[in-house]
Structure 1
Amino acid sequence: MIANQFREPTGYLDFARFGPPSNAVLAERSRLTEYSAVAGPTTVDDLMRQDLRARAAVARLCRTDTDHVVLLPNTSTGLFQAAFGVRGEVVVSAAEFPSNTYPWARAAGARPRWVSHVTEIPEAVTGDTAAISLSAVDFRTGYRADLAAMREVAGDRVLIVDGIQGFGVVDEPWEVADVLVVGGQKWLRAGWSTGFMVLSDRALDRLDPVLSGWTGAEDPGLFDDSVHQPAPLAAAWSLTNLSPIAAGALNVALELVEQAGITAVEAGISAKVDELGEVVQRAGGQIVSSVEPRRRAGILAFTIPGHPAETVGAALNAEGISATIRPEHVRLSPHVSTTADTIDQLAIALKRVTPPGRPATAHQRSVAGVLETLIPTINGLGTALGPGTEVVLHDLGRLPNSIVAIAGNLTGRTVGGPMTDLLLGLVRRGTTQDLTDYGTHAPDGRPITSSTVFIRDPDGVAVGCLCVNSESTSATPPARDVETFPGDVDTLQRHLVERAVADVGVPVPLMKKAHKSQVVKVLDEAGFFLIRDAVDYLAAELGVTRYTIYNYLNEVRARIDAPVRDSRAGCGP
């Protein structure tokens, strides 16, 4: 790797947001600015030649030629140009970064067909589809689209790719895109107001250069008081001259990628992501971005169960870690220049966040002490209540394997087993009110009567619960069990999913998006997603990707405050 080119501070892990420019880029900007300050007869013409240098570097990395490249100040400009040039239906994910959704909503000639995630695009393509638009790498989770496969899906349709989170990070067949738009301020580390667009012959033939400025016209230097026709090839998509200083910076940044080799860059970033993932998992975190090397780039997104993302983010910021904090997770994005000190600093910062079941404060230690004090009393209480009873103590800080003590074998469970479906749902909804004398059945079918009493901390927050189950003498057992007693987490997950599918009333193979979204809603209310790896489990059961489940979950939670509607409305036949 190129030494002594980068000097971002220790703790910087936010390249998916902005990449601090390299020393070479800073030097080139300074050189060109200084040159412009002593302008002579040829200065402007000399500076404008930076455009060709930058386009040549783009062409080499994209395996094309300069006639198919135009420089732009940012990704949004290129995507708006592409959108205004399309006539007809465009399949695009509503979960894209806004720079790839607003253009399609604004373009009069385009008819967006929205999907929830890039993985749903193949099923959404119709005979009327004129174009497909997607990000090479998802800005939230770092999911890396299969561009070669998407080219097959597109067929002869126009394939538009936002490459800002992938170009200079991973080695992709960029030439399969008909329109590739990239901003240089992130992973390329070229600074703001740098970027480019590459157009294939198909794009040049199909798309209208609506936003074509005077520099995109034939004979742009001929001022004859007339509006000229668009120039041939990609030049027609130029609005005006890009800053030659920005063009020079982009060229140097691209040359650094060439010198290092994109294969080496990808391997280096991947290794850093692996290291960060190990740190996160040791701290009790759950990685929600792709872990499959072929489906990830430079982004690692994670949560720490039981701790809001903003709390985790505050701990990182306090320790000098630069990261992107979103409502649903924390996003880390390293580069090849990320140092071991930065990774160590992340580990220190995460230790400030208390993983579930690991009390850190004096208050939390006192709560744990109360529960530990109760453990020896459980056997005595079970003996006092006599045969046919079972006494269980749950620690709610150890979800879902919350059983810390149990006396009796009425339900066949042991210490370390999970809480019941009823208790999990109560915890998820925050309705931790004591329940007494309700009827259900033991796993062997015997009717039982149960009571659940919550143990609270000095602030009134439920931290544990004491449950007593007894053989029932009632002659009329409940028509439907309000509680089941799984022996392990897998059984709990399976039961919750089967019940949710039954509630929706449609077999999984026949489900449409609305049905699957409803399953997610039911499971969210049941506390299913408090279970580790629940998203992966459900994705496999519903035959979708984990990212689709996250999108459904975000949509469901966004509708919590909306007016109540028929949950099955719009499901279709």
Structure 2
Amino acid sequence: MVMRIPSSYLVGFHEPEGYLDFGRFGPPSHAVVDTSTRLLELSAAAGPSTVDDLMRQELRARAAAARLCGGDTDHVVLLPNTSTGLFQAALGITGEVVVSRAEFPANTYPWVRAGRAGVNWLPPGPVTPEAVRAALTRGTTAVSVSAVDFRTGYRADLAALREVVGDRLLVVDGIQGFGVVDEPWEVADVLVVGGQKWLRAGWSTGFMALSDRALERLDPVLSGWTGALDAGLFDDDVHPVAEGAAAWSITNLSPIAAGALATALELVELGGVPAIGQRIAQRLDELTEVVRSAGGEVVSATDRRAGILAFTLPEHPASVVGAALVEAGVTATVRPEHVRLTPHASTTDATVARFAEALRGLRRPAPAPPASDVLAALVPTVNSLADALGPGTEVVLHDLAKLPNSIVAIAGDLTGRGVGGPMTDLLLGLVRRGTTQDLAGYETYAPDGRVIRSSTVFLRDSRGVAVGCLCVNSDPRPDAQAAERPPVSAVEAFPGDVDTLQRLLVERAVDAVGVPVELMKKSHKSQVVRVLDEAGLFLIRDSVDYLAGVLGVTRYTIYNYLNEIRS
């Protein structure tokens, strides 16, 4: 049966055409923006009743969350994000907790960091009732799971998990499904939801719903003065914790964020979760057809799917597909292994058409000569151009299809490179980020420290996609002595080979983090990977293995860092 979404719901949204990234962030509705603005203006006109008036937004948000959860306000507490609620649960549980390593890190760190519960890691694969049943032991007190897997879109069978878990606690992260997937949320003992994605409430919004079982068994360790009885009574005493979910309140949250969350949840009620979910499923079907028509493969869940579609295209790395989508004005999540699309009920036909056009552009034969032929035709002009520009000039032609060994022609020896050498770190980073705009007359430094002036023009095929670049480097003072070499961080590297480029990029990233490798913790190593991802290191073949060796981790750890960074 086709369910109709009220037009009053749909007109409340106006994300940019081509936006397909709600699994990462959901642009708030007009109503949420208006509510936030109104409440902020109210706070600016502070008067005797301003704070009390603003704080009423909390009850409004809790009531809306309770209605969608199938519970009541006494079992709901507001949170600024999912991680806070998961840490509260982890600090309140003793015993053994069953968790999947493949969860989004917000679901794994609390159990490890809290240290109050032992962790029994599930084997790779979806969190199914069968996998959980096999992992349960006598010491298991809780099972923690995402309602929707952030990579594959697999929708956990919460009702079946409840049966398997029995009287143990079931902790559910609902951020990738709440408000758009019709699930029996009431079966969760701890349900945590952030509002910045599918709920479209903006950052610093969220809630936690606790069952009676959870309230009886969990110790509210992370609880503050607003989570105590008679919170407004300042008698120099520490009060017992409050009744119900209020015991888990740490402090007053932003009433502006509470108002935004309340408005977003009320919009979900207006649209109706079944109707919203059906509309998203329809868009997923359309996007799936586009992917398959382009010869792509859907690598996300197809049977128990939520709002996530992950795909690959043969002979096109995910980074290339992602760059083409950016060029076409399509916003998606790009990971090393696939591209992830997450549409919403407000996703338009025009957005689907834009995505289809972007994929067709990847496969469409160019009416003009192949890019390789165009670049080959330019090779003889490199020497002529260098001669015309005179002494102290270097002209370099790069073929982006041959990254990282992209130099196909070079005249002049200003930077000491040759044919088959790599592009500079600056250009590699631009290509990685898809920011292939021409650069004119910028200053950099030759390997010996001399100031040189450089210009780069990107060469494009008939579709406007960058396929190469022509660089001109010149020494404005050929007879001048080399200046004192500037700091390494200020130098554009002109390496003679890929190994040198790779080494320089990694050394700079480690220096930027500022912690010796032998003293690095996971957060430092993850930051190194983030810097190098921006710099384009992973466009270099075997760079993951090289970096893994430098950081003293496995290649799979590097891929995990990349997944976290790009999620």
Superposition TM-score, scaled by structure 2 size: 0.63
Q: Which residue number corresponds to residue 162 of structure 2?
A: 151
- The letter of the residue matching 1:558 is Y
- 1:353 paired with 2:353, answer no
Q: Which residue number corresponds to residue 298 of structure 1?
A: 307
Which of 281, 285, 289 matches 1:278? Answer: 289
Displacement, 1:353?
Answer: 2.3
Displacement, 1:318?
Answer: 0.8
Q: State how 1:247-266 maps to structure 2 within 5 Å.
A: 247-266=258-277
Which of 108, 112, 125 matches 2:136? Answer: 125
Q: Which residue number corresponds to residue 515 of structure 1?
A: none
- 1:312 paired with 2:321, answer yes
**CA 1:352–1:221 in 2, change beyond 3 Å: closer, same or farther?**
same
Q: Which residue number corresponds to residue 181 of structure 2?
A: 170
**CA 1:332–1:560 in 2, change beyond 3 Å: closer, same or farther?**
closer
The 1-side partners of 2:292 and 2:232 are apart by: 60
Q: Which residue number corresponds to residue 84 of structure 2?
A: 77
Displacement, 1:198?
Answer: 0.1
On the 8 A contact 1:359/1:365 being kept in 2, the answer is no
Q: Which residue number corresponds to residue 547 of structure 1?
A: none
Q: Secondary structure at the match of 2:222?
A: coil
Displacement, 1:361?
Answer: 8.5
**CA 1:361–1:231 in 2, change beyond 3 Å: closer, same or farther?**
farther
Displacement, 1:228?
Answer: 1.4
- The letter of the residue matching 2:339 is V
Which of 332, 343, 346 matches 1:337? Answer: 346
Q: Secondary structure at the match of 2:150?
A: coil
The 2-side partners of 1:91 and 1:141 are apart by: 20
**CA 1:61–1:560 in 2, change beyond 3 Å: closer, same or farther?**
closer
- 1:110 paired with 2:121, answer no
Q: Which residue number corresponds to residue 99 of structure 1?
A: 106
- The letter of the residue matching 2:330 is I
**CA 1:112–1:342 in 2, change beyond 3 Å: closer, same or farther?**
same
The 2-side partners of 1:174 and 1:360 are apart by: 54
The 2-side partners of 1:70 and 1:231 are apart by: 12
- 1:212 paired with 2:223, answer yes
Gaps of 5+ in 2: 374-552, 560-567
Question: 1:343-399, CA deviations, whole angstroms, 9 ceiling, x for partnerless residues?
Answer: 0100111123249xx899855999xxxxxxxxxxxxxxxxxxxxxxxxxxxxxxxxx
- The letter of the residue matching 1:19 is G
On the 8 A contact 2:149/2:155 being kept in 1, the answer is yes
Gaps of 5+ in 1: 367-554, 562-573
Q: Which residue number corresponds to residue 201 of structure 1?
A: 212
- The letter of the residue matching 2:320 is T
Q: Which residue number corresponds to residue 558 of structure 1?
A: 556
**C-alpha root-mean-square deviation of aligned residues, in Å?**
2.0
The 1-side partners of 2:206 and 2:113 are apart by: 22
On the 8 A contact 2:10/2:346 being kept in 1, the answer is no
Q: Secondary structure at the match of 2:83?
A: helix
Identity score, percent: 67
The 1-side partners of 2:91 and 2:557 are apart by: 32
- The letter of the residue matching 2:306 is A
Q: Secondary structure at the match of 1:267?
A: helix
- 1:186 paired with 2:193, answer no
Displacement, 1:125?
Answer: 1.2
On the 8 A contact 1:354/1:360 being kept in 2, the answer is no
Task: Tell me how many residue pairs correspond in the alignment.
Answer: 369
- 1:223 paired with 2:230, answer no
The 1-side partners of 2:357 and 2:134 are apart by: 45
Q: State how 1:420-459 maps to structure 2 within 5 Å.
A: none
**CA 1:307–1:122 in 2, change beyond 3 Å: closer, same or farther?**
farther
Displacement, 1:127?
Answer: 1.5
**CA 1:60–1:359 in 2, change beyond 3 Å: closer, same or farther?**
same
The 2-side partners of 1:210 and 1:31 are apart by: 35
Displacement, 1:3?
Answer: 3.5
On the 8 A contact 1:147/1:172 being kept in 2, the answer is yes
Q: Which residue number corresponds to residue 536 of structure 1?
A: none
**CA 1:98–1:361 in 2, change beyond 3 Å: closer, same or farther?**
farther
Q: State how 1:371-390 maps to structure 2 within 5 Å.
A: none
On the 8 A contact 1:93/1:121 being kept in 2, the answer is no
Which of 90, 94, 97 matches 1:90? Answer: 97
The 2-side partners of 1:275 and 1:7 are apart by: 20
The 2-side partners of 1:314 and 1:296 are apart by: 26
Q: State the 4+ residue runs in structure 1 displaced beyond 2 angstroms.
A: 119-122, 352-355, 358-366, 555-561
Question: 1:86-123, CA deviations, whole angstroms, 9 ceiling, x for partnerless residues?
Answer: 10100000000010000011012111111123133231
**CA 1:31–1:359 in 2, change beyond 3 Å: closer, same or farther?**
closer
- The letter of the residue matching 1:328 is E
Question: 1:218-255, CA deviations, whole angstroms, 9 ceiling, x for partnerless residues?
Answer: 11111112221111110010111111011111111111
Q: Secondary structure at the match of 1:95?
A: coil
Q: Secondary structure at the match of 2:361?
A: coil
Q: Secondary structure at the match of 2:121?
A: strand
On the 8 A contact 2:80/2:205 being kept in 1, the answer is yes
- The letter of the residue matching 2:336 is P
Question: 1:427-454, CA deviations, whole angstroms, 9 ceiling, x for partnerless residues?
Answer: xxxxxxxxxxxxxxxxxxxxxxxxxxxx
On the 8 A contact 1:216/1:235 being kept in 2, the answer is yes
Q: Which residue number corresponds to residue 474 of structure 1?
A: none
On the 8 A contact 2:97/2:143 being kept in 1, the answer is yes
